[in-house]
Structure 1
Amino acid sequence: MDSPSSSTGPQPISNSRTEGRRHSILPDFLSESLPIPPSFLGTSPIIREILSQDIAECSSDDEDEHAGASDAESISGQADAKLAFHPNGIVYGTGYSFVPIQGMDKPVPNPHEVEESLHAELSLLRDNAILPPKHHKPRPTHVFARLYRRIFSTKVKDHEGPIFPDIAVETTPLLHEMAAEFEPLPTPAPDEIERRFEFAVAHHEITTTWQREAKTLIQYSMPLIATFLMHYSVTIGSVLTVGRLGLVELAAVNLATMTASITCYVPVQGLATCLDTLCAQAYGSGHKHLVGLQAQRMTWLLFILMAPIAMVWWFSEPILAALVPSKETASQAATFLRVLIAGMPGVAMLESGKRFVQSQGLFKATTYALMIGAPLSFLQNWLFVFKFGWGFVGAAAAMAITQNLLPLLLVLYVWLIDGSQCWNGFNWKAFKNWGPMMKLALPGMIMIEAQFSVLEVLTLSASQFGTSQLAAQSILVTVTSTSFNIPFPLAIATSTRVANLIGANLSSAARVTAKVSIIAACMVGCLNLILFSTLRTQLPRIFTDVDDVIQIASQALLVCGVMQVFDAIAAVAHGLLRGIGQQAIGSYANLFSYYLVALPISLSTAFALGWKLTGLWMGITVGLLCVSVIELVYLYKTDWEVAAAQAAERLKSEDVAVEAKSRRPSHGV
C-alpha cells in the first residue's frame, strides 16, 4: 500500500508490523487527530462495481506502477491490518443516526490509523503489566502522590520492574537514579508486541480501568466538541444578530434555516455518506487518484440535485405562506432562502471535501478551516447587519459567504499543506458511473431525512400559535442544538472506543467503557439541566429583548432542561449500539419514538391541552425518554461476548476479490 506523503503525520509502518494482525487493531487512542474512523459495514458488490469500473476507465500504466500491485493485491492487501467493525453515521458532518445502509463496504485502514493502533496496543499492554512501563519511575511515597495515583492512574496492575525477564531493563546505581527516572526503557519489536497482545487477549489477561476509559473518551470527544460547536456557530451567529432586529425576523430565520436543513443540508449530508466508504477504499487500495475522482463525482451530482431545490427556494414564498399564518414571516423567510441559494455550491463542496481529506487521515483539516471560518462568520454578521445596514438580508449573506468560504479553506489546506497527492485535477470521467453511486447514497439520504423531518413538523406547528411562539421556538432550537454538541461527540467517542474493543475481542473492557460513557452522559445531561433551569430567563435575552418571547421561551426551557438528560443518555446509548454493530436497533427505536410517541404527544399537548410551545417540547422529551429506555434495556440484555464473536466473523468475511490488472484497458486519466 502506498504511504501518504504527509509531512506532519506519522510514517506508515512496515509490512513486518502488519503481518499477522487480525482483530487486535485498536486505532486512534491518541489525541493527535480527530479519532473518527470511517464506516465499517458488510462487503458490497456496489462498492466493487464502482471501484472496478473506475480502475478500468481511469487508471493509466503510470498510476498502476505507482500503486505497485494488482487490483486484487491492492484492495485486499491490507486484510491483515483490519480495523474493528465500525458502523456508518459517525463521521463528522453525517447524520446522527439512521438504519444501516445494506451494501456499504469496509474501507482499508490508512497508515496513520495502523500506526496509532500499534501505540494503543503498547499502552494497553503496559497498563496491564504485560510490558514494562515507558519510564522507570519509583513508586510514590508522598500521601498526596499516592492518592493522586490511586484516583487517576490508568494502570490495571502496578509494578516496579519488568514483568518479562527477556526484556532487559538497566538497573542504575544511586548516583544515576535521577537520570534513570526519566530515561525511556527499551520497547519490544512490533512483532513481539503483536505476539504478546494476541497471547494476552487469548488468555483474557487484558482489561481496563474506568480511569483509562474516561481519559480516552475525553481525548476522543474534546476535539469533536470544539469542531461541532464551531460549525454550528455559523447558524448561531445569524440567529443572534437577526434576533436584535425584531420579532418577525427572529421567527423568519428559524423557519428559513429549518426549511433549508430539511430540503437541502440534511439530504446533501446523507448522499455524501457514501464517500466515507468510496474515498477510503480508493485511498487504501493504492489508487489515490480515484479519491479525487469520487469527490468530484459527488460534488457534480450534488450540484445537479441542488438546481431544483434552488428553484423551490426562490419561489418558496407562496408555499410558506400556505403553511404559516403570518404572511410577513413567510415573506421574510422566503427572502432569507433566496439569499442562501448563493451558498449552495459551498455546501456541496464542503461535504465532498470533508470526505476527501478524512479518507487520507487528515481529520484536522476541517477543524482548521472552521477555526478561520467561524470567527469570520460572526464578523460578517456584525458588518453586514449593523455596520453596512443590510439588516435581515445581511445575516443571510453572511451565512452564504461562510458556506462558500469553508470549502475554499479546505482547498488551501490541500494545496499548501497536505492531501494534494490524491488530486489529479478535474476529470470529465467524473460525469460517468453515477448509477451505482446513487444506489449506494440514496438509502442514507432517505433515512436521515425521515428522522430529521419531524423537526420541521414541530416548527410549522409552532408557527400556528403566532409570531411570538415561532420566535421563541427559534431560541429553543438554537439553545438545545448547541447543548447537543456536547453529548453527541461523547456518543461518537463511545462508538469508536467500543467498536475498537469489541473488534479486538476485549468485551470486558468494552463493558467498562459502556458504564463510564453512560455515567458521563448522565453527568452531561444533568449539567445542561442545571444550566437551562437556572438561566432560563437569561438565555433568551441573549437573542432578543422582546418580553413576550422571553417569557414563552423561559417556560419551555424548563421542559427542555429535563429533555437534556434523556437526550444525552439516548445519544450515548445509540453510540454504544453502533459500537457493537446493532445500530439498526437504535435507529428503529428513534423512528418509533419520534413518529409514534413524540409527535402525537407534542400535537396533543400543544393543541388539545393548549400548552402550545411547551407542549411541543413535552412530546419530544417523552419521546427521548422512550428511546433511552428501549436502548438501555437492549444494552443491558446484550451478550457482549456474542457481539465480539459477531464482529470477528464480520471481519473474516470482508476480504474482497477483484479481477487481475491485466484485464484493465490502459488509457490515461
Structure 2
Amino acid sequence: MESERQPLLSIGDEVPGAENQSHSLTNNLSKGPFSSFVADEADIGPINGVQDFFRELLVESKKLWYLAGPAVFTSLCQYSLGAITQTFAGHVGNLELAAVSVENSVIAGFSFGIMLGMGSALETLCGQAYGKGELDMLGIYMQRSWVILNTTALICSVFYIFATPLLKLIGQTTAISDAAGTFALWMLPQLFAYAMNFPIAKFLQAQSKIIAMALISGVALVLHALFSWLLMLKLGWGLVGGAVVLNASWWFIVVAQLMYIFGGACGRAWTGFSWKAFQNLSGFVQLSIASAVMLCLEVWYFMALILFAGYLKNAEFAVDSLSICMNILGWTLMVAFGFNAAVSVRVSNELGAAHPRTAKFSVVGATMNSFSVGLILSLILVIFRGEYPSLFSGSTEVKDAVYQLTPLLAVTIIIDNVQPVLSGVAVGAGWQAYVAYVNVGCYYVFGIPLGLVLGYKIGLGVKGIWLGMLLGTVVQTLVLSLMIYKTDWKKEASKAGDRIRQWGLP
C-alpha cells in the first residue's frame, strides 16, 4: 500500500531504489513481450471499496498539488511577462500597443506554440527515464532537444525577419505592420530563449524540481515589471525599452536555471556536455514534431475563433468581447497547464518505474482535482457576470456582449480544465502522434465547420462560432477519455522501457 513505500517524487532527491527498479524492469522487459511484464512491488494495490479509493486519492492529490502548485505559479509568471510589456506599451501609445499585441499574438505566439510543442517531447522521455532510474539520460535528452529546438528557432526566425510583409499579407494596416515588424526584429533573442528554456523546463519538471523554477520565474516577473516601467516610461525608450526588458527577462530565466543545474542540484541527471547529444536524433525529431503538431493544433484552434469573429457584422464589438473572454480564459488555462505538467510527470515517472496501477490512478486524481478547480472558477464568473466586464471595458455594448458570452466562457473553462490533463496523460505516455490525428478530426473537421454553420448560416453570430468550437473540444475530450479508459497500462509501462532503450545511450 501507499503508506508502506517512499514517495516517488521529492525535490532534490533521486528516485528511491531507482537502481533496483531499473534492474528489475530491465529483467522483466528482457523476457519478451508485455504479457510477461511484472509490475514493480512498490505499485499501489487494487482499489477495493470507497475507503481505499479516497485514501489513495488523498495521497495522489498531495503529490499532484506538490507539482501543480509551483507549476501553475511558474506558468502565470511567464505568461505575465508579455502581458506586462503589452500593458506598458499601451501607456506609450496606441500604435505601440497594437504593435506589441500583434507581435505577441501572431509572430511570437505562432513560434511559441511550435517551440513549446517540440520541447514537450522531453516530458515523455525525461519523465520515463527518471522513473526508471536512468538519470544519466536526462542531460543527454535535454541537449538533444536544444539541438533540435535551436535549429527550429533558426527556421522560425524567417517569420520575425519578414514579419512586416507577412502582417500586411493577412490584412493588417501598414502602420501596425511596420511597427510590429520592427518590434519582431528586436524580439529575435526571445525566440532563442524559448529554444533553451523549454527543454530546461521539461528536464527540471521530470525530476520534480518545480519550486526552483517557480522562484526564478517569480524573481524574473518582479524585475521585469520594475525595468519595464523604468525603461519604457521613465526613461522614454518606448518599444525599444520593452524589447530589451522582455528579451532580458527570458534570458534571465534561462541563465538562472542553467546556473542551478550546472551547480550540481540535479546530481547524476547532469554530468556535463556530451557529443552523445547528436546521436539517435531521428526518433527524437519524430517525437518532437508529433508533440509540436499536437500542441499547435490545440493552441491555434481558439485563435481561429477571434479570426472568424472579425468577419461578422458588428465585428468590432464581437472581437472586443471575445478578446476579453479569451484573456480570462488564458489566465485560467495557466491553472490547467499546471495540472497538465503535473500529470505528465506523474504518468511518465510511474510508467518508467513500472507502476502501471499508480499511473492509471494518477489520471483519475488529476482529472478530479483539475475539474474541481475549473468548476469553482466558472461559478465565480457566473456569480459576478454583471460586474467583472466593467474591469475590461467602459462600452455598454461590449459589456453586454461579455455578459451574454459568460455562460459559454464558464463551460469552456470547465472543459479546458479537464482536456489539458488528458493531453498531459497523452504526453506522459508518448501518444502525441495519435492525439494529433484526434485533434485534426475533432477540431478542424468537426468543430470549426460546425461553428461556421451555427455562426453564419444559422445566424447565431459569435455565440454560434464559439459553441461549435466548444463542441469540438468536448468531442476531443470524450475521445481522449475513451483512449485512456481502454489503455492497457502494463503495456504502456513495457513500452516506456523499450523507448528508453531505443533512444538511450549507445
Instruction: Name the TM-score, length of structure 2 as normaliser.
Output: 0.74
Does residue 620 (structure 1) correspond to residue 433 (structure 2)? The answer is no
Match of 1:377 in 2: 224
Match of 1:490 in 2: 339
| Residues 248 and 467, structure 1, Cα contact 8 Å, conserved in 2 | no
Give the count of matched residue pairs: 485
Match of 1:223 among 46, 61, 70: 70
Return the alpha-carbon distance in structure 1 between the equivalents of residues 10 and 135 of structure 2. 28
Q: Are residues 348 and 646 of structure 1, via their aligned partners in 2, closer, same or farther at CA, if it must alter by over 3 Å?
A: closer
Q: Are residues 341 and 597 of structure 1, via their aligned partners in 2, closer, same or farther at CA, if it must alter by over 3 Å?
A: same
Displacement, 1:531? 2.7
Displacement, 1:229? 1.9
Deviations 1:316-361, CA, capped at 9 Å, x for gaps = 1222122135444444433432332132222212123334545666
Displacement, 1:519? 4.3
Match of 2:443 in 1: 594
Show the 5 A alignment for 1:88-107: none
Match of 1:560 among 398, 402, 409: 409
Show the 5 A alignment for 1:8-19: none
Match of 1:409 among 253, 256, 260: 256
Displacement, 1:407? 0.4
Return the alpha-carbon distance in structure 2 between the equivalents of residues 551 and 316 of structure 1. 35
| Greater shift in the superposed pair: 334-343 or 494-503 | 494-503
| Residues 163 and 181, structure 2, Cα contact 8 Å, conserved in 1 | yes
Letter in 2 for 1:504: H
Return the alpha-carbon distance in structure 1 between the equivalents of residues 503 and 303 of structure 2. 45
Return the alpha-carbon distance in structure 2 between the equivalents of residues 213 and 285 of structure 1. 21
Match of 2:112 in 1: 265
Displacement, 1:413? 1.7
Return the alpha-carbon distance in structure 2 between the equivalents of residues 545 and 420 of structure 1. 55
Match of 2:166 in 1: 319
| Greater shift in the superposed pair: 361-370 or 477-486 | 361-370
Show the 5 A alignment for 1:628-643: 628-632=477-481, 638=485, 643=488
Deviations 1:356-385, CA, capped at 9 Å, x for gaps = 545666444322321211222222333333
Match of 2:79 among 209, 226, 232: 232
Displacement, 1:480? 0.6
Q: Are residues 516 and 365 of structure 1, via their aligned partners in 2, closer, same or farther at CA, if it must alter by over 3 Å?
A: closer
Q: Are residues 498 and 430 of structure 1, via their aligned partners in 2, closer, same or farther at CA, if it must alter by over 3 Å?
A: closer
Letter in 2 for 1:523: S
Match of 1:478 in 2: 327
Percent of counterpart pairs with the same letter?
22
Letter in 2 for 1:79: H
Return the alpha-carbon distance in structure 2 between the equivalents of residues 658 and 347 of structure 1. 24
Displacement, 1:595? 0.7
| Residues 115 and 195, structure 2, Cα contact 8 Å, conserved in 1 | yes
User: What SS class does the counterpart of residue 485 from structure 1 fall into?
Assistant: helix
Match of 1:80 in 2: 24
Letter in 1 for 2:452: L
Return the alpha-carbon distance in structure 1 between the equivalents of residues 442 and 322 of structure 2. 21
Letter in 2 for 1:80: S
Displacement, 1:303? 3.4
| Residues 325 and 464, structure 1, Cα contact 8 Å, conserved in 2 | no
Show the 5 A alignment for 1:547-586: 550=399, 552-574=401-423
Match of 2:355 in 1: 504
Return the alpha-carbon distance in structure 1 between the equivalents of residues 389 and 478 of structure 2. 31
Match of 2:36 in 1: none
Letter in 1 for 2:248: I
Q: Are residues 352 and 589 of structure 1, via their aligned partners in 2, closer, same or farther at CA, if it must alter by over 3 Å?
A: closer
Deviations 1:242-296, CA, capped at 9 Å, x for gaps = 45566665555443223235532222223334455666799988795x7656544
| Residues 390 and 399, structure 2, Cα contact 8 Å, conserved in 1 | yes
Show the 5 A alignment for 1:524-543: 524-536=373-385, 539=388, 542=391
Return the alpha-carbon distance in structure 1 between the equivalents of residues 154 and 78 of structure 2. 25
Return the alpha-carbon distance in structure 1 between the equivalents of residues 96 and 154 of structure 2. 27
Displacement, 1:219? 3.5
Deviations 1:125-167, CA, capped at 9 Å, x for gaps = 9x99xxxxxxxxxxxxxxxxxxxxxxxxx985xxxxxxxxxxx
Letter in 1 for 2:447: A
Displacement, 1:437? 4.5
Displacement, 1:567? 1.9
Return the alpha-carbon distance in structure 2 between the equivalents of residues 307 and 655 of structure 1. 29
User: What SS class does the counterpart of residue 489 from structure 1 fall into?
Assistant: helix
Return the alpha-carbon distance in structure 2 between the equivalents of residues 480 and 274 of structure 1. 25
In structure 2, stretches of 5+ residues that fail to align are: 30-39
In structure 1, stretches of 5+ residues that fail to align are: 1-23, 38-73, 86-116, 129-153, 157-205, 665-669
Return the alpha-carbon distance in structure 1 between the equivalents of residues 124 and 172 of structure 2. 44
Q: Are residues 474 and 298 of structure 1, via their aligned partners in 2, closer, same or farther at CA, if it must alter by over 3 Å?
A: same
Return the alpha-carbon distance in structure 1 between the equivalents of residues 233 and 12 of structure 2. 38
Return the alpha-carbon distance in structure 2 between the equivalents of residues 471 and 247 of structure 1. 15
Return the alpha-carbon distance in structure 1 between the equivalents of residues 57 and 66 of structure 2. 14
Deviations 1:496-523, CA, capped at 9 Å, x for gaps = 556749953548x956x66655544443
Q: Are residues 440 and 491 of structure 1, via their aligned partners in 2, closer, same or farther at CA, if it must alter by over 3 Å?
A: closer
Q: Are residues 554 and 329 of structure 1, via their aligned partners in 2, closer, same or farther at CA, if it must alter by over 3 Å?
A: farther
Displacement, 1:231? 2.4
Return the alpha-carbon distance in structure 2 between the equivalents of residues 498 and 233 of structure 1. 28
Displacement, 1:449? 3.0
- RMSD over equivalenced CA pairs, Å: 4.9
| Greater shift in the superposed pair: 234-243 or 423-432 | 423-432
Displacement, 1:406? 0.8
Q: Are residues 547 and 405 of structure 1, via their aligned partners in 2, closer, same or farther at CA, if it must alter by over 3 Å?
A: farther
Match of 1:302 in 2: 149
| Residues 283 and 503, structure 2, Cα contact 8 Å, conserved in 1 | no
User: What SS class does the counterpart of residue 265 from structure 2 fall into?
Assistant: coil
